[in-house]
Structure 1
Amino acid sequence: MKNKNIIITGTSRGIGYEMALQFANEGFQVLAISRKTPEVLMQHENITCLAIDISKEEELAEVSSFVQQAWQNKVDVLIHNAGLLVNKPFHEITTSDFEAVYKVNVFAVAELTRICIPFMGKGSHVVTVSSMGGIQGSMKFPGLAAYSSSKGAVITLSELLAEEYKEQGIAFNVLALGAVNTEMLQEAFPGYQAPLSAQEMANYIHDFALTGNKYYNGKVLQVSSTTP
């Protein structure tokens, strides 16, 4: 299992950073994608850092070049962890705000998945980190119209892709997270203390990414112990 190649977005901080380290420390090869590259990740022998803006299609193309040259056209796990949050009253949100959020949370997920699919075979797993805010019928919070609606969009996208690529043996699943102590949580709910740390949630996603595709495909798992 240790010869797996893992791609993770949003690795500059929080859950993505902790996941990259955990996979790498266990001997997996990790491509860590974020606009900023932490020194610790850059120095790890099992991590390659790619400093790109995933909202830009032309920069995402660098992923394809890397996989072909360094990984011999093989991707085993793709974890869409990156996210952009805008917290504004709805009457203040602009079209540009919506576009910025959707470019990171939806369009980049779709484009990076499209790039990686030719390199993924039977038994590979695409995990998208969504939010409880994207679950229909869940509690919603003012100010998060762009963010929560984008997280709902990737849920439907993953369900569709699971059906479209089931014959190839590629599994697509979504983890809808509740409150985790990250900088993004503080941006949405200043001062709120969540019961789970970024490292604890990273441990959960790590295990699910490696084994969850044996039990689930096209599913949305609600990983939430509290609200928000």
Structure 2
Amino acid sequence: MSKIVITGTSRGIGFEMVKIFAEQGHEVLALSRNNEPVKKLSLDQVNALAFDITNVSEIESVGKWIADRWDSKVDILINNAGTLLNKPFAESTMEDFSEVYKVNVIGVAELTRQLLPFMNTGGHVVNVSSMGGIQGSMKFPGLAAYSSSKGALITLTELLAEEYKENGPAFNVLALGAVQTEMLEEAFPGYEAPVSAEKMASYIANFSQNGQQFYNGKIMQVSNSTP
């Protein structure tokens, strides 16, 4: 039984992963600004905390919770929380870019930094990025802030894997193609993605438990459609 921390759990892929891990009998700490959806599931061994990844004091409180409730141990950290801005570059402000980077990069870096003391050599940090952050992949107008932040997350993952390669944990990043989530629907109304949130959640859940045996510092392109 593993102790698993997941961010962005109020809906979509994160919400589905909580259910998958709970079904498998793992202990889960679900972090999201809105913790009500997970709380309503009333799942054994699942704790849902209201959490803002851009708030340093709230990130620190997560570390204190783990120290108190989980005896300072985390096996898997899945940085799934993200925000997507679809806006023409000419209309995008410094504040727009700052908000996207705070959620998609800076908050991820700080939460990871706070939880690393609780993780050992066999641990696994999985960062959820996007095909939009892959150099040479298809790019879309309006996603300058989002895709560039996901590219930064990919590079951050590679750097942390190198820095912690001696004593762990392992760091890997999944660059996802389009997945049918509420966030995608809000940014691209009417678009139908080829993969459901449930299927992607199942893939990520499995990779998070086994991928560190084979990979470290790797970018896995998880897409059957995006070149």
Q: TM-score range with shorter-chain normalisation?
A: over 0.9
Q: Deviations over 1:117-144 (max 9, x none)?
A: 1000011000000000000011100001
Task: Give the deviation of 1:87 after TM superposition.
Answer: 0.9
Match of 2:15 in 1: 17
1:33 maps to amino acid: L
Ranges in structure 2 where 5+ consecutive residues have no aligned partner: none
1:64 counterpart SS class: helix
Please say if 1:67 is aligned against 2:63.
Answer: no
TM-score under structure 1 length normalisation: 0.96
* Contact 2:180-2:192 within 8 A present in 1 as well: yes
Task: Give the deviation of 1:169 after TM superposition.
Answer: 2.5
* Contact 2:38-2:48 within 8 A present in 1 as well: no
Please say if 1:79 is aligned against 2:72.
Answer: no
Over 3 Å counting, the alpha-carbon distance change for 1:21 and 1:41 in structure 2 is farther
Mapped partners of 1:120, 1:20: distance in 2: 20
1:135 maps to amino acid: I
Match of 1:199 in 2: 198
2:160 maps to amino acid: L
* Contact 2:9-2:38 within 8 A present in 1 as well: no
Ranges in structure 1 where 5+ consecutive residues have no aligned partner: none
* Contact 1:32-1:48 within 8 A present in 2 as well: yes
Which runs of structure 1 show a deviation greater than 6 angstroms over 4 or more consecutive aligned residues?
A: none
Mapped partners of 2:186, 2:140: distance in 1: 13
* Contact 2:9-2:18 within 8 A present in 1 as well: yes
1:175 maps to amino acid: L
**How many percent identity over aligned positions?**
62
Number of residue equivalences: 226
Match of 2:32 in 1: 34
2:58 counterpart SS class: helix
Task: Give the deviation of 1:40 after TM superposition.
Answer: 4.4
* Contact 1:79-1:127 within 8 A present in 2 as well: yes
Task: Give the deviation of 1:190 after TM superposition.
Answer: 1.9
Mapped partners of 1:192, 1:16: distance in 2: 20
Task: Give the deviation of 1:91 after TM superposition.
Answer: 0.4
Q: Deviations over 1:154-199 (max 9, x none)?
A: 1000000000001113100000000110012123322111111100
Task: Give the deviation of 1:86 after TM superposition.
Answer: 1.1
* Contact 2:77-2:126 within 8 A present in 1 as well: yes
Q: Deviations over 1:2-25 (max 9, x none)?
A: 2x1000000000000000111012
2:60 counterpart SS class: helix
Match of 1:100 in 2: 99
1:7 aligned to which of 1, 5, 8: 5
* Contact 1:126-1:173 within 8 A present in 2 as well: yes
1:174 counterpart SS class: strand
1:67 maps to amino acid: I
1:88 counterpart SS class: coil
Match of 1:44 in 2: 43
1:15 maps to amino acid: I
Task: Give the deviation of 1:206 after TM superposition.
Answer: 0.2
1:13 maps to amino acid: R
Mapped partners of 2:187, 2:177: distance in 1: 12
Match of 2:122 in 1: 123
Match of 1:182 in 2: 181
TM-score under structure 2 length normalisation: 0.97
Mapped partners of 2:39, 2:75: distance in 1: 20
Q: Deviations over 1:88-125 (max 9, x none)?
A: 10000011111100000000110011001100001100
1:108 counterpart SS class: helix
Task: Let me know the Cα RMSD of the aligned residues.
Answer: 1.1
